[in-house]
Structure 1
Amino acid sequence: MSSSMGSSLLERFGGELGIYIHIPFCKQACHYCDFHFSTSLKKKSELVNALVKELQLRKDEFKNTTVETIYFGGGTPSLLTIDELRLLIDEVYKNYSVAENPEITLEANPDDLVSIRAQSKTIFEEYKSVGINRLSIGIQSFFEADLKLMNRAHNAEEAKNCLQEATKYFKNISIDLIYGIPGLTNENWIKNIETVLSFDIPHISSYALTVEPKTALDTFIKKGLVKNVDDDLAQQQFHILIEKLEASGFVHYELSNFGKPNYFSKNNSAYWQGKPYLGIGPSAHSFNGNERGWNVQNNSKYIKAIEQSILPIEIEILSITDKYNEYVMTGLRTLWGVSLEKVERDFGENYKIYLLEQAEKHILEHLLYLDEGKLLVTKKGKFLSDGIASDLFMLNLS
């Protein structure tokens, strides 16, 4: 389903707004990744121009909102030049109401940050000059064997050099780490965590390696070239992560995210709390509280449509059951939990009764607990939270 410039895809929604800008380019394909991206940069300029135009086309959809966060995700946004980043950030300011001090995050790879050299300023100073105030750096591991298995573009030395330089200019830094990698021992996993802590990084996003269908990793495992992921080992490493980071002053505020006080990701927290967001670029998703939209997952089709002032978007109107299920899924992943009062207020008493009935067995198994009217996941249940949430979903109201 597509929408023209004259019609609004998403219902106007008052309050805060996050803008996500998808940069669908990478130097090379990581073996585990199933996100939308291209390793050819031929259409990068055309794509950036299309992103600018989409920002213009959609400015009326969220008229009564204030942009609190701008997030460059991908793909690899650090492949954009400073001028391209400046162009996109300026376009947001021209077309939207922006908060006084918005969180502006750039996802970046270590090899880009250590290889880019400006004539008079470091790349970090350049980023700050265009308004970027938060970096999310895709480290994943500090061990060469892990990086090669995942086909990462950087090496361990570049990862460390990158953090050494980045921390001179940015305090608000997040890094990504992956656990459960075949061959990654608990000993080396602890070393990964300790290396991050040595740089005084205030935010860590950490994920279990998952084998997505049709990825290179999936093929290698099926051919016996790589060992399959060991779920028990991944769970051990998840609990090691929690123990180490909480002992170092981090708050485990979302299943995959740990932040020191005042360093939680405002962008991601908005997703988990059900706030509206606007997704710009191919494959990007948008949400206004009642509808979800997603752009076509093809660079050429996206560019062609936007050039014709057509938004290449499909939309789904969310039912009350969809909204309940989404709230349960996101709430259980966070320290804020699932509020029984909110469930009853927003979805009705039947939903609250159903939720408590479904939760009972998990409470008895010490995977869930109730605290001050909120349903929360125990430490024992955290690794299983997505599966637990699915048990609480309402499939059919009748």
Structure 2
Amino acid sequence: MKIKNLLITVFFAVITNLSFAQKNEPIDHKATLETRNLYSNLQKLAAKGVMFGHQDDLAYGVEWKTSDGKRSDVYDVVKDYPAVFGWDLGKIEYNADKNLDGIPFDKIRAYIKQVYDMGGVNTISWHVDNPVTKGSAWDNTSAVSAVLPGGKEFETYQKWLKNVANFIKTLKGSDGKQIPILFRPYHELNGGWFWWGKDSATKEEYMELFKYTVNYLKDTVGLHNLIYMYNTNSFQTAEEYAERYPGDKYVDMVSFDNYQFSKPNPTQTDLKDSKEKFRKQIRNGLSILDSFAKAHHKIPAFAETGFETVADKDWWTSALLDVIKDFKISYVLVWRNHGWMEKEKKFHYFGPYSGHPSSPDFIRFYQAPNTLFMKDVAKQNLYK
């Protein structure tokens, strides 16, 4: 009887360990060693803190537009780089020389290599043009059904996906290894502004598009260095968040985007009201995301956020950190520091820069024990 009980105990211990191991594996069973290591280490690192990310950080800043890959608005403030760097592949579908924000793809390739060599993390989104009209990603003319198998633009879209794959295949570190990428396609899916969004595609069409893309990149062209992200915009309920989820076999990480907005030239009352609204939305969103991630054994992330021009000088600690500190999320990323937009006649930036009124508060954000930057994550050897 004792032997039988011992065998039963051992059996359940093995099953438990196997289940745990499966939770630490990416959906791609052929994922490279570096990709599997990153996926596992992202989960472990979330227990220590949240990585800070910034879109296009090495490429340009508020008051500068050319880069040797060393300058960074974030570095100028805290003498450290972000842990996560965001890039976008918009226009790669045409094999263009530059992406939709004017960064040469050769430069993006070099920046991604630099981040990997430093020990940081790269994430890629794709603001892909509308395949029917050839308008921008924001042309929300219905197009998803046209790019699915049997659709009139199916062959065209396959070529576009192949161009994405061909670029990703060129991403290699100084060690010669394929660089793991957190890939976030068809983002903000529950918004109505993109051609893959809720106003332009049924949930069935969206899910089929996501599945087809994963299968094509993973199985058809054999990319094994991608960690796939599901990404919504802001939401109110768990049902809304899960409505277009393509399934656990197609997703490695779950995330959402949510920005703070206020009136032009806001008063202190306006800032206070918009901050409270933002904090309430984020806390609700992260609570739902946390439960969803645990139920599906996925890694949660706050993929895009920010407050344009950071008009609240204490925003980093009183709005952002004060909420995210209560959740175990992989990373939080603020959008790009474009600077002056001539056409719109306004400044467009979401990160800090030297001399900005919020910079002292960003230093406090940086010094918080549960925020992680490049120096923190480089010590963790995420790819080993």
Which TM-score band (shorter chain)? 0.3 to 0.5
Structure holding more strand per residue: 1
Higher relative contact order (CA 8 A, sep 6+): 2
TM-score, length-normalised on structure 2?
Answer: 0.43
